Chain A
Amino acid sequence: MFKKRTSLYATLLISALASVPTNQAVAQMAKDKIADNAVAEPVIKVPANFKTTIVADGLGKARHLTVTDRGDVYVRLAKPVGGGGTVFLRDTDGDGKMDEQKSFGDFGGTGIALGDGYLYTTSSTEIFRYKLNGNQEVIDPNKPERIVTGLTDKGTHASKSVVLDKSGNIYVGIGAPSNACQVKDRTKGSPGMMPCAMLDSVGGIWQFKTNQPDQILKDGVHYATGIRNMVGMDWNGQTNSLFIMQHGRDQLNTLFPDMYTDQQSAVLPAEAMYELKKGANAGWPYTYYDQIQKKKIVAPEYGGDGKKEGSSEYIDPAAAYPGHLAPNGLLFYTGSQFPEKYRNGAFIAFHGSWNRAPEPQAGYFVVFQPFKNGKPSGDWEVFADNFAGMETVMSPGSAMHRPCGLAQGPDGSLYVADDVKGTLYKISYSK
């Protein structure tokens, strides 16, 4: 059964209706209440003519999300709230707030996708799908079909993001539970394993059939490898290919203080966007991408010195961003509401860094990456900023919000989910 949760707005409307029965008064009270909230809430900075509204909040640790053709929203929570790990949100009265909230599925997780009449969700070890009715509502929230089981969860990099293609396949990113494949993870002086044996089951993308129950790892196609961890992923309809954002390795300076300064370690290596064709190898843990030298560099655990160039057998990123910003959401924009330059470009939600300390942290924003003919073209720019609610974040625990998931509404609006307070933002454009 769906679990009902009272939304702020619903409660507000009900109590307002009980005492003050005019529509105007209700609207005014709703506005005041939201204005009250806005005082404490950071104002999200967006370009001119864009507008950000909070359509829901207090959802829990909101990770990835998807929007139906009618504008209903499904959000995955890292941890279930009130027994529900997926939240269904609907704006029943058209006032722009999600006044109906129901949750279902007693497992937390990150991944979610919508396609061919099903809603797909993931835990850290499994992929499920729920059959949808004509309104894209889940028919039986208690009876998902399990399509993949037994994926690795060793704590680190365990969330499983998923993407659908147009041919009945689902792609899952399986992060490596490791920083740099050292014999002892993150331990100074511990050598890199050669070869990095874990790559046979983690650190890559696996492709499964959407319509086969209970597939395990060996039933899937090992689609791409050499990727440390990936949370933001999307299918590019123009190129008909998979794009992912890698979380680059940490701790160059703490593990190799003689080779890297604090300042270098704060920005290196790049957070890289890859276009992945079947069989691609992105080079982790043997190499990393240095966005300053614009080269693949041999990792210090594998004989690198910060300069030695990495092998050409590994693919180059499609685009590269400063280190540790944690790209957790990727979305190709296909709507027509935003101006022309945004069409077919990529939005990236950067969750924000922790591995830059003692240098100030960075990220906590949504970036726009222009694309032309299916390739990144031109400089990326910060599109939506100030989720953290402060100029400089020193410690990630102090950030008020951290953008994690992105989705596009049927009207071309952009949705951003935050996993600190469970705030759901809608960014719209009007001239």
Chain B
Amino acid sequence: MNRVLRCSFVAGVMVSVFSFQSCAQTKNATQKSTSDAAKVSPTEVSMAAGKLVYNQNCLVCHQADGGGVPHLNPPLSQTDYVLGEKARLIGVVLNGLDAHEPINDEVYSNVMPAHNFLTDQQIADVLTFVRNSFENKASAVSVAEVKAERAKKK
């Protein structure tokens, strides 16, 4: 499988992760047709794009291995937030978190900034990536779910 890269998110016509054909492209795009791309599960597309979002926005605090930083930033591995209710998880990314309540028995002192500058697509991708990395295994997060959460907060 070629590495799949999502094209620019400016193409705002995308409403759900299932319509990725219009936007996904493979490394040697000339040979690869949409029918090829169609075989890519939405999660795989999301995983690749999500990793990029993660590296740019989350890695500095939660680290490359998702292990976090002792006492400062929590791990993203096997936590209730990551594996639990998606609405709450999406809320953490959209609104940040400054609660300092125990996460797997430890308290973390840094703040989680709001990431509402990310697009719905980027948030869906990064959370799908997080929920399926660092020893996590959980369902994908869809753009529609992020959109619903964002609408709620307004």
Given known pairs A187-B96, A187-B114, A257-B56, the reply for A354 and B72 (CB within 8 Å) is yes
Q: Is the CB of A155 within 8 A of B100?
A: yes
Instruction: Please give, as numbers and ranges, the residues of chain B lying within 8 Å of A420 by CB-CB distance.
Output: 70
Q: Is the CB of A395 within 8 A of B64?
A: yes
Contacting residue for B59 out of A184, A186, A358, CB 8 A: A358
Q: Is the CB of B64 within 8 A of A358?
A: yes
Q: Is the CB of B69 within 8 A of A397?
A: yes
Q: Is the CB of A397 within 8 A of B114?
A: no
A254–B73 CA distance with the chains assembled, in angstroms: 16
Say if the beta carbon of A167 comes within 8 Å of chain B: no
Q: Is the CB of B60 within 8 A of A184?
A: no
Contacting residue for B65 out of A156, A354, A395, CB 8 A: A395
Q: Is the CB of B70 within 8 A of A397?
A: yes
Say if the beta carbon of A396 comes within 8 Å of chain B: yes
Shortest Cβ distance from residue A290 to the other chain B in the assembled complex, whole angstroms: 20
Q: Is the CB of B64 within 8 A of A187?
A: no
Say if the beta carbon of A398 comes within 8 Å of chain B: yes
Q: Indicate the size class of the contact surface on chain A.
A: 20 to 34
User: Interface of chain A, helix or strand or loop or mixed?
Assistant: loop
Q: Is the CB of B64 within 8 A of A357?
A: yes
A357–B110 CA distance with the chains assembled, in angstroms: 16
Specify the chain A residue showing the minimal Cβ separation from B72: A354
CB within 8 Å of B: which A320-359 residues: 354-355, 357-358
User: Interface of chain B, helix or strand or loop or mixed?
Assistant: loop
A186–B100 CA distance with the chains assembled, in angstroms: 16
Say if the beta carbon of B41 comes within 8 Å of chain A: no
Given known pairs A357-B63, A358-B59, the reply for A156 and B69 (CB within 8 Å) is no
Q: Is the CB of A254 within 8 A of B114?
A: no
Say if the beta carbon of B139 comes within 8 Å of chain A: no
Q: Is the CB of A251 within 8 A of B100?
A: no
Say if the beta carbon of A384 comes within 8 Å of chain B: no
Q: Is the CB of B111 within 8 A of A188?
A: no
Say if the beta carbon of A158 comes within 8 Å of chain B: yes
A157–B115 CA distance with the chains assembled, in angstroms: 22
A394–B69 CA distance with the chains assembled, in angstroms: 11
Contact with A along B100-113 (1 / 0, CB 8 A): 10000000011101
Determine which residue in B68, B96, B110 has the highest number of CB atoms from chain A within 10 A of its CB, and name it: B110
A413–B68 CA distance with the chains assembled, in angstroms: 35
Say if the beta carbon of B2 comes within 8 Å of chain A: no
Q: Is the CB of B65 within 8 A of A155?
A: no
A25–B150 CA distance with the chains assembled, in angstroms: 71
Specify the chain B residue showing the minimal Cβ separation from A158: B109
A396–B75 CA distance with the chains assembled, in angstroms: 12
Q: Is the CB of B117 within 8 A of A254?
A: no
Specify the chain A residue showing the minimal Cβ separation from B71: A78
Specify the chain B residue showing the minimal Cβ separation from A185: B111
Say if the beta carbon of B19 comes within 8 Å of chain A: no
Can you identify 27 A-B contacts, CB atoms within 8 angstroms?
A78-B71, A155-B100, A158-B109, A184-B96, A185-B111, A186-B110, A186-B111, A187-B96, A188-B113, A188-B115, A189-B117, A251-B60, A254-B57, A354-B63, A354-B72, A357-B63, A358-B55, A394-B65, A395-B63, A395-B64, A395-B69, A396-B63, A396-B69, A396-B70, A397-B63, A397-B70, A420-B70
Contacts A156-B109, A189-B117, A394-B63 known; 4 new A-B pairs at CB < 8 A: A184-B114, A186-B110, A358-B64, A395-B64
Which B residues form the contact surface with A (CB < 8 A)? 55-57, 59-61, 63-65, 67-73, 75, 96, 98, 100, 109-111, 113-115, 117
